[in-house]
Amino acid sequence: MDRDETSPGLVIGADGLARCWWCVGDDLYRRYHDEEWGRPQADERTLFEKISLEGFQSGLSWLTILRKRDSFRRAFAGFEPGRVARFTDDDVDRLMGDASIVRNRAKILATINNARRHPQLVDEFGSLARFLWSFEPSPDSRPALVDRATLTSVTTTTEAKQMSRELRRRGWSFVGPTTLYSAMQAMGVVNDHLDGCFTRPMVEAERAGFPRPTA
């Protein structure tokens, strides 16, 4: 059981640790917050999965997607872009009949389309990772204080809008600025753990030592 919120956005858990308010009340969500959200990533499969699932999350809660993530991975061949790119109409029908995932035809087709566009992006930039990390904002453009009010008011950034524009120009789908900012938060391009959250300094230390992808 979590104790009362002690400062805006921070909740002290039964273990005595302060966490971002949004992860409390569910063990799966708490583990995701503690162990995964904001940790810098450069693995192609992982990044493609994050973008795809953020697209599926549009209009839903992230916890809904998180609870279905294992089913999504099974249904979408582990989100290996090369395998998803080979999906056929029969696969679309299969996915539309799979109650363990979000059955939204437009989002399913977007994921397949993006997998097919992935090789072109790799040819141009060297990797999806290098493309995504090229939109990392400069430190002086980040909020001086990351609290609940800041996090709930900043749903996208100039960099996320630029990334969205570039991906759409290359034919990607379901990659709006809000979706991509959520992906940037999840993959560690920005550290949006609240000030005072026990995880924030860990994430910042990982980001400091993280080798940014190169061609």
Catalytic: which of 21, 32, 166, 206? 32
Active site residue 62: yes
Which residue, chain included where needed, has tokens 């953020």?
A: 54
Phi, psi (5° rounding) for residue 114? -65, -35
CA 105 – CA 102 distance, rounded (Å) = 9
Active site residue 172: no
Catalytic: which of 44, 49, 54, 159? 54
Catalytic: which of 5, 21, 36, 62? 62
Active site residue 181: no
Would you name the residues annotated as active-site residues? Answer: 32, 54, 62
